[in-house]
Amino acid sequence: MLLQIYEPGQTPLPHENEQGLAVGIDLGTTNTVVALARDQKAEIVRDARGSGLVPSVVAYIDGADPLVGEMARRQLLDRPEIVVSSIKRLMGRGAADLARLGGQLPYELGAAAEGGMARLKIGARLLTPVEISADILRAVKERAELALGRNVDRAVVTVPAYFDDAARTATRDAARLAGLEVLRLVAEPTAAALAYGLDSKSEGVFAIYDLGGGTFDFSLLRLEKGVFQVLATGGDAALGGDDFDHAVAAKFLAERGGEFSRDEVKQALATARLAKECVSSQDPWEGELMLDAGDSSHSLTRAELEKLIEPLVARTLKIAAGVLEDAGVKPEAIDGTVLVGGSTRVPLVRAKVEEFFGKKPLADINPDEVVAVGAALQAEALTAGSDTLLLDVLPLSLGLETMGGIVEKIVERNTPIPVARGQDFTTYQDGQTAMSFHVVQGEREMADQTRSLARFELDGIPPMVAGAARIRVRFAVDADGLLSVSAEESTTGRQARVEVKPSYGLTEDEMADMLRASIDNAEADMERRLLTEARVEARRAINALEAALAVDADLLSEAERATIAAAQETLERAMSKSDRASIQGAAEALEQGTKFFAERRMDRGIRKALAGRNVAEIGG
């Protein structure tokens, strides 16, 4: 069965009241692909020339509907100022994040949208990455409807395994704007495994090496009795074929010399992409770089390309080695490696992957189309009620900030999802009637080194002594990787809840940096955490002592009060420094020096409780 787009008038347009079809969509950095599965066989929706790739490029011409795909890409050389490409790299990013990139972006930034979402100045328009992605999705939706003669209103949309909550939410929002109900967000590596039918084959561990235009993902999947389980995942959301293009474009521009505008950089990148694709299949390439300031001749050989991109390919294999180490798996134990993404067509990439694993990778299915095929199969399974069991994992740990800025991790990274985890917390001060919660994501030990996701408050807690209240905090992550957090006080049933729809100020490409930083700073982070914990415990002891003195100071003589005050002062001096052993020693000294006071208070409490009661009453 060949699904082919028809010219207007060749097939009836879909009727609005028809039951819509569910498709699979790979919303890629460089290209977007849509597929439909029937009877567990998926086919790519192709145009009249047989191409299944829709370039993820949009051109915004004044007074006209957006152009999407090849027609838009053709505008790059002539009118680069109205063209947007590689928008996937900006999904989930906020205006503040993009402003920090400065001149690295080939776009001019406009005023931020409500909620901090970035907006780009494209021609006369101000557009968010969500709106631009929605235009791409709307175009492939219409493409599928023309090809199939039916409404398309549902889709499984794939996302990089390393997309965080902000980027996943942005993807879902874009689909909704395009008129699509998202049945599920599926990680691209998992979709690739589905496409190869690995779920129906013998059990084993498979690696998914996914090098697309803008992102790199590497995942290990264990297949057991038809169940997909992601053992570990890693990647870099700012590493892909676009970086190959940048390296080639930098070579060409350096050969020309001089300063270049944003639009000229876009033009150079378009030429660089053409040269890269040419030398990947034939050698060498010779051509013209046409800029506003004039044309120049350039050449590129495969050897030159490989020298330029070898450090980038090495980065991907370093990430792969880290994921294997996380999972405790040796390269030779991998049963197969699936290549995904158009950048895996580059001969150097295939050669290095084969060298790393010691065996030829699986590349039978077009790497540009394999993810869409898997998404389509999952869409059919979901609509037919025969959902394949997919156990994805969290890319980063989720937790709460506690006293002293310490992170208490509730759900660890690489935990299979969907998942729900709970933990009990308590109050820090006497009479505390409210508690604030700060939800964070990351691997570091202190909250200021992690990513803030949400804040919410639980009030109405009955006033009790510190430590008496019991507040159950529950984290729930659904199959799409989206998070909700709730808190409930046990005695009253008082609840608070937040659906974590992240601010678009979060950057998904910091995830790999955060993981690397957690490894590089593990020892220092742990020492800082232990120091902070010692200070928090010391402050808790001082607060408890001061509360006791406020009530029962009359139990002490002047000399005893002076001794306790001196021990307290010693502890507070130790807390102002960074010697954890000194703090713990001073806290122990204070505890030992106030034991007699605690005993006297206990005796007084017992006497009060027994006052006026006879022996018979006490005996019950």
Q: Which residues are catalytic?
A: 26, 88, 188, 210
Helical ranges in 302-441 per DSSP H:
302-327, 347-357, 370-384
The neighbour count for residue 557, using CB atoms within 10 Å, is: 8
Omega into 160 within 30° of 0, i.e. cis?
Answer: no
Given a contact cutoff of 8 angstroms between Cβ atoms, the answer to whether 99 and 109 are in contact is yes
Q: Distance between CA 129 and CA 84 in Å, rounded?
A: 10
**CB-side neighbour CA atoms (13 Å) of 225:** 0
Q: Please name the amino acid found at residue 26.
A: D
For residue 26, what are its two tokens?
């790979």
Chain-centre distance of CA 441, in angstroms? 9
Given a contact cutoff of 8 angstroms between Cβ atoms, the answer to whether 54 and 72 are in contact is no
Given a contact cutoff of 8 angstroms between Cβ atoms, the answer to whether 305 and 276 are in contact is yes
Q: Distance between CA 38 and CA 16 in Å, rounded?
A: 22
Given a contact cutoff of 8 angstroms between Cβ atoms, the answer to whether 162 and 122 are in contact is no
Could you tell me which residues come within 8 angstroms of residue 479 by beta carbon, excluding any fewer than 6 positions away? 184, 390, 392, 417, 418
For residue 528, what are its two tokens?
């800082």
Q: Phi and psi at residue 555, in whole multiples of 5°?
A: -75, -10
Q: Distance between CA 128 and CA 98 in Å, rounded?
A: 12
Q: Distance between CA 468 and CA 470 in Å, rounded?
A: 7
Q: Distance between CA 182 and CA 368 in Å, rounded?
A: 22
Cα 70 to Cα 7, 30, 47, 59, 113, distances in angstroms: 16, 11, 11, 10, 29
Q: For strands 181-187 and 152-159, give the pairing.
A: parallel
In three state form, how does the secondary structure of 204-237 look?
EEEEEEEECCCCEEEEEEEEECCEEEEEEEEEEC
Given a contact cutoff of 8 angstroms between Cβ atoms, the answer to whether 42 and 377 are in contact is yes
Helical packing angle, 580-593 and 522-552, nearest 10°: 20
Instruction: Quote the DSSP letter at residue 118.
Output: -
